[in-house]
Amino acid sequence: MTVTTSTPKSGSTQRGNRARPGQSSPKLAYLPIIFLAFAIGIPLLIIVVYSFLEKPSQGTGVKWVFTTENYKALFIQQKLDGTTALDTRYLKVLWTSFTYSLITTTVTLILSVPVAMWIATRDARRRTLLVALVTLPFWISILIRTYGMRQIIADEGPIGKFLGLFNIDWSILYSPPATILGLIYVFLPFMILPIYASAERFDFRLAEAAYDLGAKKLTVVRKIILPAIRPGIISGIALVFIPALGSFLQSDMLGGGKTNMVANVIANNFGQARNWPFGSALAVLLIVLTLLFVLIIQGISQRRGDKVELV
């Protein structure tokens, strides 16, 4: 409906209203903005409101009575013996999520920089093919891929059978390393692609020039290449770390379903524990921590003068 109005009429060119190349009417953005406001804003609002309500005595949902108990319960535990104590259970879960995400981000970064650089230095036709290969996993549902990963790394899977030939014991499935492996596998393309996007624009003659002028190889990497691809690296870190923090599937399916990431605890509160208000409070805490992380990244990139906008 609004789409028609966003197409500039031919007559408007004469008044100089026609958008300059690379620009367009802001009206084009209205529909997606309205959609996002509904699809993200309203659920977010519901979560925040629920987190300040009581849970009903029966069934699921909320009771419309204001309370701040849900937030207190994140940090203070009413122990079964009647005493209260600092509740480290959820802090530990958050810490676990944080370390898993950090390891995932670090490993994907180390793996992605050489891959992205290598792709960027191929000729145009092969570049297109290689980028398509990196995005190939997106063609298959993440659930199916995680099931696939489970078959591959299972004790009796291909790796286990192969290592069994040499009498090497292979047992990784249903452990934290399996969860992290699953996270690395799923998030690797999200690191490669932005770094590649930066590297592709890099003029490699600059590196050659630096080398010709006597810079050591490591100096070229440190002083010429890394600064050039830094915006891509920062985007990649944000694209991997933030979703990894809220991951659910990998710890559920590869980690043996043991609740060790914050999203699993949130899911349990909306499911079996039937405590939507507390689950909401935990979700709000996760959102706040994520936002904090985004602001930190943005602060770093702005100080460096990189063009990375996350908020």
Partner 1 sequence: MLAALAAAGALLLSACGGETTADSGAGETAAATGEFPTTGSGVVNVYNWTDYIDPEELKRFTAETGIEVILDTYDSNETLLAKLQSGATGYDVIVPSDYMVQQMVDLGLLQNIGVRSFPNGGNIKDNLIDVYWDSGRNYTAPWNYGTTGIACNFVAEPECANIKSWKDYFTAGLPKMDSLKDQVEVVSAALRATGVAGDDLCTTDTAKYIAAEELLAGFKPAVIESDGGIERVTAGTSNIRHAWNGSTHRMTVENPDVQCIYPSEGLNLWADNLAIPVGAPNLDNAKIFINWMMGPQAAGAQSNFSGYDNGIKGSDAFMDDSLKTDPAVVVPADKEALISPLPNCGEEARELYTQVFTTWTTGQ
For residues 281 and 73, what is the distance between their CA atoms, to the nearest angstrom?
9
67 binds partner 1 (CB under 8 A): no
265 binds partner 1 (CB under 8 A): yes
93 binds partner 1 (CB under 8 A): yes
According to CB under 8 A, which one of 90, 185, 196, 241 is a site residue for partner 1? 90
272 binds partner 1 (CB under 8 A): yes
144 binds partner 1 (CB under 8 A): no
Q: Minimum Å distance from CB 160 to partner 1?
A: 10
43 binds partner 1 (CB under 8 A): no
For residues 260 and 16, what is the distance between their CA atoms, to the nearest angstrom?
59
CA dihedral sign, ordered 75, 80, 85, 89: negative
Q: Minimum Å distance from CB 255 to partner 1?
A: 9
From the number of C-beta atoms within 10 Å of its C-beta (0-12, 13-18, 19+), residue 283 rates as: buried
Spatial contact of 18 and 35, defined as CB atoms under 8 Å apart: no
Pairing of the two strands 84-86 and 76-78: antiparallel
92 binds partner 1 (CB under 8 A): yes
Spatial contact of 248 and 267, defined as CB atoms under 8 Å apart: yes
According to CB under 8 A, which one of 41, 137, 158, 271 is a site residue for partner 1? 271
Which of these segments, 74-82, 181-189, 227-235, 297-305, binds partner 1 (CB under 8 A)? 74-82
Count of chain residues binding partner 1 (CB under 8 A): 32
Spatial contact of 74 and 281, defined as CB atoms under 8 Å apart: yes
154 binds partner 1 (CB under 8 A): yes
Contacts of 129 (CB under 8 A, 6+ apart): none
Write out the binding residues for partner 1, residues 186-245 only, by CB under 8 A: none
Q: Minimum Å distance from CB 28 to partner 1?
A: 35
